Chain A
């Protein structure tokens, strides 16, 4: 008889039932999962050399060589681009799949695109209209033009669309927030019925940031007690302004407590015991900054498969306030306001770093912000309401290091928008003397 634990453990698995590994199926599953992460491997490796070839400035610490560059900002690390370096998008760069114009949004609410489902349908909403203030919803198949009506959401105040999957639409409710509760609406795409969840147990404090994690839970940042250093920094900025507009760049950022909530059980609300600034998810990664809406010197990346957390200093500028934060594949996108330039223009930056902390590129200009589209593309929008000739929407291609300009103005309504599958991008532009807007959805290579 086997009477040693070590031997008995081995003996217990010695006659395992036969199980041939189907490597074909395994590789197919792996390729499918990796599709969003593949391009950035190339992108990170080619970014530095590509920029030289493209004639853009290659900037190290303390050296800045572009015509529009501020000369007193030595704290830029890695390659730097400016919107003036962009080229007009040409035929074949983007493929427009849907566009829609509302001529006069001052006169009445119109219809807008609220994102694209994972299976390629555009979610369109019209309204709210009428005495009952209803929002009409439908799917538009951009390939055929066919429309599929959807039931109106329970709340015309609508909200932020968090998920457009093949199974469901999830909307974080603005109406519930107004009513001092927090919750979401879920449309089951099979039964075409809306359900709602109102979370009990979430602290009744300000929230910043909401996202769905790969586990299907909704994650929210909940305000923590005021930070003394931040309060002191803000007071110092106000004192220094002396009645002029306050330049609050360089103040200590805010921190939020991360909570999560179930979409199926209103009582399943959890304190994740994690202080975050901003946060974002990809399929198998969560990334967060230490602070937001102020300076931030740490980005954390958690491998959701292993639970392993790594962190790095993104080397953002000393006076850079982190305003927005995104993650796609192995790239982290940080939108920042870094104070005013001598000409009173804003110094705004969209900084892209890998999840290992390697600098990829920083786009620096006035009044810009950025978002990760997917592994390959970063969207940058510039909005000075016509005061600057660089207004519009730009796409930075991490694979070829090109900065493409796809529009030359942004609508001041900025209504619509929502989740998009990898490879899709949406922008808007003003029409009819800025009374209306055109929305465009395009597919990228």
Chain B
């Protein structure tokens, strides 16, 4: 990569890292794992950088790559691989039950959504992506995004009713 391109990549990486890491955190609930995902994503982005610069949409590519990595990990884990170790930085289920933290309750609730529903909720309500951009990020149709988001929100409504988030406005 040319020096100027590399400088542009570095600038992008520094600027995008925080946003990507937050999205990753809301998707996985673990800051360490989120950091690793962002690192993996940016390394892959480096490879595609010259092409991306020509085409634009670098952040969209990064987001799609990161989600693909994360959903792929989830898929593999669900087919029998060893789950990751408990994250000691997150509250336990008991903490949620005690409802001392709305943030913890939210993460625990998100954790109970299927990965794609969770991704739709995070991308639509945290990243403020349109239905079309969410579909592009997840590599699915807009109809799928709409249905997955609706199901995710329905599930969230049912789940928060049992927590300290009962008053949460959803959707």
Q: Please list the residues of chain A having a beta carbon within 8 angstroms of any beta carbon in chain B.
A: 1-6, 8-13, 16-17, 19, 21, 23, 26-27, 29-31, 33-34, 37-38, 41, 284, 303, 305-308
Contacts and interface: CB of A to CB of B under 8 A. Distances in A.
A284 B1 contact: no
B103 A8 contact: yes
A12 B10 contact: no
Interface of B: 1, 6, 9-10, 13-14, 17-18, 21-22, 25-26, 31, 35, 39, 42-48, 50, 61, 64-65, 68-69, 89, 102-103, 106-107, 121-122, 125-126, 128, 139, 156, 165, 167-171
B31 A16 contact: yes
B17 A306 contact: no
A26 B42 contact: yes
B20 to A, nearest CB: 10
B46 A27 contact: yes
B139 A308 contact: yes
A2 to B, nearest CB: 7
Contacts of A5: 121, 125, 156, 168-171
Given A8-B102, A11-B103, A26 B139 contact: no
Given A12-B25, A19-B35, 19 more contacts: A1-B167, A3-B167, A4-B168, A5-B169, A5-B171, A6-B126, A6-B128, A13-B26, A16-B21, A21-B13, A21-B17, A21-B42, A26-B39, A30-B42, A30-B43, A30-B47, A303-B48, A306-B61, A306-B139
A3 B169 CA distance: 6
A12 B42 contact: no
Nearest to A330: B51
A34 B47 contact: yes
22 contacts: A3-B167, A3-B169, A4-B168, A5-B169, A6-B126, A8-B168, A12-B25, A16-B21, A17-B89, A19-B21, A19-B35, A21-B14, A26-B42, A29-B46, A30-B47, A31-B1, A33-B44, A33-B47, A37-B47, A305-B48, A306-B65, A307-B64
Nearest 7 A/B pairs, CB to CB: A30-B46, A13-B22, A9-B126, A305-B44, A12-B103, A29-B43, A305-B65
Contacts of A12: 25-26, 103, 106-107
B61 A23 contact: no
Contacts of A10: 126
Contacts of A306: 61, 64-65, 68, 139
B139 A307 contact: yes
Nearest to B137: A306
Nearest to B127: A9
Given A12-B26, A19-B35, A284 B47 contact: yes
B25 A16 contact: yes
Contacts of B14: 21, 23
Contacts of B169: 3-5
Contacts of A8: 102-103, 106, 165, 168
A4 B21 CA distance: 22
A381 B49 CA distance: 35
B7 to A, nearest CB: 10
B146 to A, nearest CB: 17
Contacts of A2: 102
Nearest to A265: B80
A308 B63 CA distance: 13
Nearest to B103: A12
Contacts of B170: 5
A3 B103 CA distance: 11
B122 A9 contact: yes
B50 A41 contact: yes
- Indicate the member of A4, A5, A33 with the most B CB atoms within 10 Å: A5
Contacts of B45: 30
B122 to A, nearest CB: 7
Contacts of B167: 1, 3
A26 B14 CA distance: 11
B57 to A, nearest CB: 12
B13 A23 contact: yes
A27 B128 CA distance: 30
Contacts of A16: 18, 21-22, 25, 31
B114 to A, nearest CB: 18
A285 to B, nearest CB: 10
B105 to A, nearest CB: 9
Contacts of A41: 50
A391 B89 CA distance: 66
B125 A9 contact: yes
Nearest to B164: A1
A29 B69 CA distance: 17
Contacts of A305: 44, 48, 65, 68-69
Given A6-B125, A27-B46, A33-B46, A19 B31 contact: yes
